[in-house]
Structure 1
Amino acid sequence: MRAQLSLKRLLATCVFALALSPSAYAEAPVPNHLQAVLDRGVLRVGTTGDYKPFSYKTRDGGQYIGLDLEIAKGLADALGVKLEVVPTSWPSLMADLAADKYDLALSGVSVNLERQKKAFFSVPYQRDGKTPITLCKNQERFQTLAQIDQPQVKAIVNPGGTNEKFARANLKQAQIVMHQDNVTIFDQIVQGKADLMMTDAVETRLQQKLHPELCAVHPDAPFDFSEKAALLPQDVALKAYVDQWLHLDMASGRFEQRMQHWLDYPWQPR
């Protein structure tokens, strides 16, 4: 009987203490990155500067240009704030987002489930998939993953992104050659230092224009399916705004005009 009374008193004490401390159940404030951008007056956009036609850092003056920089400028203008471009890299993309170095990333970022665990993506603005690019004379040699995954084949990749992830998931016998600079990586194939690269079909189409020796291998039928979108912090307000802006831009036809402009842009070949 005494044990029951003691238990009742303990429970009553706990209930009374919680009633005096409602903060114990108070939810943490929900972050609002959109309001933070408006208060700051600056939209910080992370970009890699090494992925034509989405993001490229020019050699003369170090200006960032490309489709995704135009999207970033459009978003900043719509918000009525200034645009600040924040350099990042594929290996540090997620860490920089987590460290709040930028409000969103635009750099031809592919949507994948690993990134989705830690971030949000906007609505996708481009469909794509991985496909090879190689010397034109070798096109028939590398039509399938089975043909590519041979011990004598050298597949080159840039570190930290979905190209490396795809190569490591699908190549068990072929040699994977790492190359740090995604701007000069295609020259390695031209020079015979690698046999091919598997990258997004849109990039293979563009790079074959810049390197006449190279040919995209079945870019209309890539090995997998992927989409490109803005990479965002896990903030509903900012995502909703970016989604709506992209929706309106694509529905108006402006996005398609931008995309075609940057596909046809006179990029420096090397």
Structure 2
Amino acid sequence: MRRILSGIAAAIVAVTLILPLQAKAEDAKSLLDQILERGALRVGTTGDYPPYSELDQTSNTYKGYEIDVVTQLAADLGVKVEFVPTTWETLAAGIQAGKYDVAASGITLTLERLKSIGFSAAYLDSPLVPLVQSKDGAKYAAWRDLDKEGIRIAVQSGTSAEESAKKNFTKAEIVPIVAPALDYQELLAGKVDAAITDTVFIKKALSQYSDKLVAVDPTHAIEGQPNAMMTVRDDYVWRNWLDTWVAMKAQSGFFDALFAKWIAGS
């Protein structure tokens, strides 16, 4: 009887050890496997940042450089793409809460963000430079000339531009602008002295307001801005697949073609 009880006790111990391991294995299932099983890639995007991500209010469809990136990503995964509306302020929170698998909207990979959130390999660089009104262009030879008491600089709230501006400008006042309002619109309205954003977005603004706005020393950026897809941080199986996909697409000329389509001709 003692031997039987010992056997039962051993079995109970074994089961109690196995069950947590099985639960842990379930919890540890890669996002890659989850996406394939689900049959859909969920993408968080802001829809307010052309030429990266723009929502057509009439058709309720998205278009842009990043939209083409994730659409091709889903196709290569063999799943459909599902867009999830989000905001710049809640991009990372949406990933962490499992609302979407990746976020793509012209998002900058930064060392600070990498402390709490993951990114794919970068596939585009669009450095930060300031815009000022044309009448003020001669006042500023370099971006550092804007860092003075009394100068007000607009940045999009929740973006890497806001993070960079607060780090690099210690005297000027940084003014966060909440979407759908845009930083350069505040500049056009005369509410601020400058607006800081990336060179791609600036190109779009200058194409519309070439007689009213000018970039300050665009060949010497405030900081580089490597763009990538935001995703979970510690899933190395998924990150490896995603990084490999970026590398293979870069080699094939995919990103060059998108640059020509959405940015070079802007």
Tell which deviates more after alignment, 92-101 or 198-207. Answer: 198-207
Please give the alpha-carbon distance, in whole angstroms, between the structure 1 residues aligned to 2:137 and 2:149. Answer: 18
Deviation at 1:25, TM superposition (A): 8.7
What is the letter of the counterpart of residue 75 of structure 2?
D
Query: SS at the partner of 1:113?
Result: coil
TM-score by length of 1: 0.84
CA deviations 1:219-261 (Å, max 9, x no partner) are 2320222311111113222222222222222111121111121
What is the letter of the counterpart of residue 119 of structure 1?
I
1:31 aligns with 2:29: yes
Deviation at 1:181, TM superposition (A): 2.0
CA deviations 1:188-210 (Å, max 9, x no partner) are 21121111111112221222112
Query: SS at the partner of 1:92?
Result: helix
Q: Is the contact between residue 130 and residue 195 of structure 2 (CA under 8 Å) also seen in structure 1?
A: yes
The aligned counterpart of 1:214 is: 213
Please give the alpha-carbon distance, in whole angstroms, between the structure 2 residues aligned to 1:192 and 1:113. Answer: 33
What is the letter of the counterpart of residue 218 of structure 1?
D
What is the letter of the counterpart of residue 219 of structure 1?
P
The one of 119, 122, 126 equivalent to 2:120 is: 122
- Structure 1 unpaired stretches of 5+: 1-15
Deviation at 1:60, TM superposition (A): 2.8
The one of 129, 151, 154 equivalent to 1:153 is: 151
The aligned counterpart of 2:260 is: 260
Give the direction of change, closer, same or farther, for the CA distance of 1:146–1:221 in structure 2 (3 Å limit). closer
How big is the alpha-carbon RMSD for the aligned residues of Structure 1 and Structure 2? 2.4
Please give the alpha-carbon distance, in whole angstroms, between the structure 1 residues aligned to 2:83 and 2:103. Answer: 10
1:82 aligns with 2:80: yes
CA deviations 1:118-142 (Å, max 9, x no partner) are 2221111012322101112322323
Determine what percentage of the aligned residue pairs are the same residue: 29
Deviation at 1:145, TM superposition (A): 4.2
Query: SS at the partner of 1:215?
Result: strand
CA deviations 1:88-118 (Å, max 9, x no partner) are 1111111111110000111111111222122
Give the direction of change, closer, same or farther, for the CA distance of 1:115–1:199 in structure 2 (3 Å limit). same
Q: Is the contact between residue 205 and residue 216 of structure 1 (CA under 8 Å) also seen in structure 2?
A: no
- Structure 2 unpaired stretches of 5+: 1-9
CA deviations 1:23-76 (Å, max 9, x no partner) are 599493223111111111111011111222211122433321110000111011
The aligned counterpart of 2:134 is: 136
The one of 94, 99, 110 equivalent to 1:96 is: 94
Q: Is the contact between residue 126 and residue 227 of structure 1 (CA under 8 Å) also seen in structure 2?
A: yes
The one of 199, 202, 206 equivalent to 1:201 is: 199
Q: Is the contact between residue 123 and residue 227 of structure 2 (CA under 8 Å) also seen in structure 1?
A: yes
The aligned counterpart of 1:58 is: 56
1:40 aligns with 2:60: no
The aligned counterpart of 1:6 is: none
Please give the alpha-carbon distance, in whole angstroms, between the structure 2 residues aligned to 1:211 and 1:60. Answer: 25
The aligned counterpart of 2:239 is: 239
Q: Is the contact between residue 133 and residue 215 of structure 1 (CA under 8 Å) also seen in structure 2?
A: yes
Please give the alpha-carbon distance, in whole angstroms, between the structure 1 residues aligned to 2:215 and 2:180. Answer: 17
What is the letter of the counterpart of residue 203 of structure 2?
R
Please give the alpha-carbon distance, in whole angstroms, between the structure 2 residues aligned to 1:221 and 1:250. Answer: 26
TM-score by length of 2: 0.85
1:176 aligns with 2:174: yes
Please give the alpha-carbon distance, in whole angstroms, between the structure 2 residues aligned to 1:229 and 1:163. Answer: 15
The aligned counterpart of 1:73 is: 71
Please give the alpha-carbon distance, in whole angstroms, between the structure 2 residues aligned to 1:154 and 1:183. Answer: 16
Please give the alpha-carbon distance, in whole angstroms, between the structure 2 residues aligned to 1:135 and 1:147. Answer: 15
